[in-house]
Amino acid sequence: MSKWVYSFGAGRNEGGAEMRNLLGGKGANLAEMAGIGLPVPPGFTLTTEVCTAFYENDRQYPADLPGQVRDALTHIEKAQGLTFGDAKKPLLVSVRSGARVSMPGMMDTVLNLGLNDQTVKGLAAMSGDQRFAWDSYRRFIQMYGGVVLGVEHHKFEEIMDHAKQDRGVTEDTQLTAEDWQRVVAASKDMIAAETGKPFPLDPEQQLWGAIGAVFGSWETPRAVTYRRLNDIPGDWGTAVNVQVMVFGNMGDDCATGVCFTRDPATGENMFYGEYLVNAQGEDVVAGIRTPQPMAKERSKPDEKPMETEMPVIYRQLLDVRSTLEKHYKDMQDMEFTVQRGKLYMLQTRNGKRTAAASLKIAIDMAKEGLIDQKEAVNRVNPSSLDQLLHPMLDPKAKRTLLAKGLPASPGAASGAIVLNADEAESRANKGEAVILVRIETSPEDIHGMHAAKGILTTRGGMTSHAAVVARGMGRPCVAGAGGIAVDYTAQTITAGGHVLHAGDTITLDGAAGEVYAGLVAMIDPTMSGDFATLMEWADANRRMKVRANAETVLDAETARKFGAEGIGLSRTEHMFFDPQRIGAVRQMIMASDAEGRRAALAKLLPFQREDFKDLFRIMDALPITIRLLDPPLHEFLPHGEAELAAVAKALGTDVAAMRRRGAELAEANPMLGLRGCRLGIVYPEIYEMQARAIFEAAVAVAKEGKTPIPEVEIPLIGTRKELEITRAQVDRVAKAVFAEAGRSVEYTVGTMIELPRAALTAGKIAEISDFFSFGTNDLTQTTFGFSRDDAGKFLPTFVEQGILPKDPFISLDVEGVGELMRFCVENGRKTKPDLSIGICGEHGGDPASIALCEELGLDYVSCSPYRVPVARLAAAQAALHGAGDRTV
């Protein structure tokens, strides 16, 4: 018999933190907390395997599940002295989802389950509070009606509004037990009318309805979107947690809250969080009432921090905080409820945090001795470093403050005001920078939040949906900016006397919680302090070198600033796009004979030489892989009439001849055309010029006392013979230049591996190649037979349908391209054991691909300059054998 249900608390603790895959994060941690003696209301977890079985079996539960649920329920009934459905002493439960990793706001929760027209009386008698009992019942009907029965939320709101109008009041808190009774009756009638069925009053039926809704919500579009954005496989499934209800809304000695053991925005080591007196859990996250801070230190004069309002509970929570941090050795995000002066822990998990907080917490915890340096290196998600490298507002820049809100997620962003998520997405797709402005956000807004550069809400706290999701996504966010009025109909926002329209530009400072009108100047971040420490620890733990793809002075300098250990790819064709040079390049391409080409190349030689000199100087004593010309020709062909005429004039020919030549050179798929070494072989004078420029520059810089290390790279090699021919050209030029200069420089000649044929014949190619560098952009294109030019049209569909796990142009296809690489490395090194091998495709900056490169034993990865820190950290994590429990 399979075990589908695991109990926690009340002396029967069957799970633990290590069982997260089976019990989901929430269930595993509830069991763990109960196990270490924290006050957890008892309950049980239906495993993720139930979810998988449910979907595999046409939405049917395993036959032995109901019996196991009943048994677990009976256990907690006994422990609590309460009975599910009992009119006098009813047991009430919450039903919540809990996937392996947290999916904030994506799954649904039902509280107060077990209430009906009889049990509500029992609850009233037990609590001595009619109003509370009927308020709980109406909350249950609303939640159940919405989540399980699919009734729209506003229908319940209308009933509540009527009740308030009838009584002439504006706040829920002013309604009495009798009012709630009427709301209950009206809600049940409305549900019956909407769904065609009476509201289920049998607690067992309620329970199975809620369980079904949680499992059902795993496949809702918003859950599917969240998973797609966060690389969470669909077959993980969710668990369901059924837990005894505790109430934070039984009076002023009750409360509910969410807190973090450290500040999730900055990482500062201080107790951080929000709570509400006399409230039920959902009230804090929903952002309907503005919560109060936990610590006195963090409170404003008009606020009521828990530290002074409920000092005993606050001290107990401080103990829980330290117990949990010591136990989990990571920052925790916990939920608690205080029922009549007694503290209960409802959840703990590794807290989501900003990149800055992740970095600070990792470094601080290592310095505190809670974790070691290696673990600290493993704790920070390399991709999140991107956020730290992004700009912030220039303190000296002029600005007009519109409003202040909460500093929900750091970073600065400017963009056009957009008031709904769909529009944010469509405008962002057109390349526009947008700021999504909402009164509050909900899971339906996820795609717009992802597309926006920043998010602004006018309601809700630091744990509101907007704040939590923005932090996870690394989007700057200002939340709860109450001074701004949003008018969705008029498409305006009004703040401090300013009226701005959708489309107007605003700037957010997510670290300060400030909103500015217009564009505010930004500056690059500094890379000192904790960042430098992390990089130092990463460097101490990595084996592979990290180089950058760079060809301009700016790129090369940026690369060095970020710690690049050389250049792994200098695309020389990028040096030709300059307006001063492109004319000569076009002449060279359009020339119909070698003489015409030579004349054009002669104009380019001095430019190339100067470029290389600059690079050699910046990368003194570091290797530079210079790739000889490899343009898809169409990138350079003259387009308009004027350009055609100019090239014709320079070549001393007419436009008609130019057109003919253009037609000869036209290619159906230029990425597979006369590129790379093919060009160098057909027109040898091109590579000769480039080799001359490289060696003349190297000799000149060497004479300045520097140490240039040129690695001349031949692109798009498919056969040994191609390399033999092109290499011979390069060596010949080197010899000539060194003889002319009376001085030589050490150099190597190698090849890119960009074609399956090159990978398959690596053993032979290695005989005459000093190094290999995987050009995985082309290798992916040619392995799949997908054109780089147009695969974007269908790859998203392939990923959506699960045909490919990820876009293979972003993250290496381990199974296919990776296998070719493995074969190539093995056979290349069989021929030449010390053959230097690197990667310079876009994958060189992708952490998952970097892990494969480590496994294959590559010597270095090369990526764009801004990704160098990401690659340094990812390479260290790869060397340390995978990152541990990454939380960002």
Binds 27: which of Mg ion, ligand PEP, none (CB < 5-8 Å by kind): none
CB of 407 to ligand PEP, least distance (A): 40
| Strand (E) or helix (H) holding 109 | strand 109-113
The reply to whether 713 sits near Mg ion by the rule CB under 5 A is: no
Q: CA–CA separation, 136 vs 849, rounded Å?
A: 51
First to last CA, the chain: 38
- Answer yes or no: 465 catalytic: yes
- Measured CA to CA in angstroms, residue 442 lies from 93, 154, 286, 447, 515 at distances of 25, 14, 9, 11, 21
The helix/strand count (H/E) of the chain reads as 34, 33
Closest to ligand PEP by CB, 95 vs 840, is 840
Size of the site for Mg ion (CB under 5 A): 3
Q: Which residue pairs, CB below 8 angstroms and at least 24 apart, start in 682-686?
A: 683/594, 683/597, 684/729, 685/594, 685/597, 685/598, 685/601, 686/588, 686/597, 686/601, 686/628, 686/629
CB of 662 to ligand PEP, least distance (A): 23
Supply 47's token pair: 């495993």
Closest to Mg ion by CB, 298 vs 757, is 757
Among 333, 778, 842, 859, binds Mg ion (CB under 5 A): 778
Closest to Mg ion by CB, 245 vs 839, is 839
The reply to whether 90 sits near Mg ion by the rule CB under 5 A is: no
User: Binding mask 48-77 vs Mg ion (x if CB under 5 A, - otherwise)?
Assistant: ------------------------------
Question: Is residue 166 exposed (0-12), middle (13-18) or buried (19+ Cβ within 10 Å)?
Answer: exposed
Binds 776: which of ligand PEP, Mg ion, none (CB < 5-8 Å by kind): ligand PEP
Closest to ligand PEP by CB, 477 vs 817, is 817
Binds 203: which of Mg ion, ligand PEP, none (CB < 5-8 Å by kind): none
Closest to ligand PEP by CB, 350 vs 811, is 811
The reply to whether 611 sits near Mg ion by the rule CB under 5 A is: no
Q: CA–CA separation, 112 vs 133, rounded Å?
A: 10
Say if CB 353 and CB 267 are below 8 A apart.
yes
- Measured CA to CA in angstroms, residue 722 lies from 231, 677, 704, 710 at distances of 41, 7, 35, 21
Beta pairing, strands 477-479 & 748-753: unpaired
| Strand (E) or helix (H) holding 416 | strand 412-418
Closest to ligand PEP by CB, 220 vs 777, is 777
CB of 569 to Mg ion, least distance (A): 9
Residue whose tokens read 């000199």: 613
Q: State the DSSP string of 546-575.
A: EEEE--SHHHHHHHHHTT--SEEEEEGGGG
Stretch that binds Mg ion, among 183-191, 400-408, 609-617, 774-782 (CB under 5 A): 774-782
The reply to whether 718 sits near Mg ion by the rule CB under 5 A is: no
Which residues sit at the interface with ligand PEP, rule CB under 6 A? 569, 571, 630, 754, 775-778, 840-841
CB of 821 to ligand PEP, least distance (A): 12
CB of 815 to ligand PEP, least distance (A): 18
Binds 825: which of Mg ion, ligand PEP, none (CB < 5-8 Å by kind): none
Question: Is residue 284 exposed (0-12), middle (13-18) or buried (19+ Cβ within 10 Å)?
Answer: buried
Supply 412's token pair: 């600065």
For residue 155, the SS3 value is helix
What is the arrangement of strands in the sheet containing 492-495, beginning at the earlier edge strand? 484-487, 492-495, 498-501
Closest to ligand PEP by CB, 350 vs 690, is 690
Q: CA–CA separation, 549 vs 568, rounded Å?
A: 6
Cross-strand partners of 7: 44
Binds 284: which of Mg ion, ligand PEP, none (CB < 5-8 Å by kind): none
Stretch that binds Mg ion, among 103-111, 153-161, 438-446, 768-776 (CB under 5 A): 768-776
CB of 214 to ligand PEP, least distance (A): 45
Binds 718: which of Mg ion, ligand PEP, none (CB < 5-8 Å by kind): none
Say if CB 349 and CB 885 are below 8 A apart.
no
Closest to ligand PEP by CB, 83 vs 849, is 849
Binds 841: which of ligand PEP, Mg ion, none (CB < 5-8 Å by kind): ligand PEP
Binds 840: which of ligand PEP, Mg ion, none (CB < 5-8 Å by kind): ligand PEP
Closest to ligand PEP by CB, 32 vs 778, is 778
What single letter denotes the amino acid at residue 30?
A: L
CB of 779 to ligand PEP, least distance (A): 7
Q: CA–CA separation, 630 vs 653, rounded Å?
A: 26
Give me the catalytic one of 465, 824, 843, 853. Answer: 465
Q: CA–CA separation, 293 vs 512, rounded Å?
A: 17
Q: CA–CA separation, 550 vs 270, rounded Å?
A: 42
Say if CB 843 and CB 776 are below 8 A apart.
yes
Closest to ligand PEP by CB, 73 vs 765, is 765
What single letter denotes the amino acid at residue 463?
A: T
CB of 630 to Mg ion, least distance (A): 6
The reply to whether 775 sits near Mg ion by the rule CB under 5 A is: yes
Nearest to 183 by CA among 135, 226, 148, 132: 135
The reply to whether 632 sits near Mg ion by the rule CB under 5 A is: no
CB of 549 to ligand PEP, least distance (A): 7
Q: Which residues in 439-458 contact Mg ion (CB under 5 A)?
A: none
Closest to ligand PEP by CB, 648 vs 765, is 765
Q: CA–CA separation, 68 vs 74, rounded Å?
A: 10
Say if CB 256 and CB 276 are below 8 A apart.
yes
- Answer yes or no: 259 catalytic: no
CB of 809 to Mg ion, least distance (A): 12
Say if CB 172 and CB 160 are below 8 A apart.
yes
| Strand (E) or helix (H) holding 343 | strand 342-350
Closest to ligand PEP by CB, 630 vs 854, is 630
User: Binding mask 722-761 vs Mg ion (x if CB under 5 A, - otherwise)?
Assistant: --------------------------------x-------
Give me the catalytic one of 259, 477, 840, 853. Answer: 840
Closest to Mg ion by CB, 337 vs 849, is 849
CB of 556 to Mg ion, least distance (A): 20
CB of 771 to Mg ion, least distance (A): 16
CB of 410 to ligand PEP, least distance (A): 33
Say if CB 129 and CB 250 are below 8 A apart.
yes
For residue 813, the SS3 value is coil
- Measured CA to CA in angstroms, residue 559 lies from 474, 509, 539, 619, 792 at distances of 23, 27, 16, 10, 29
Active site residues: 465, 840
In the complex, the residues that contact Mg ion under the rule CB under 5 A are 754, 775, 778
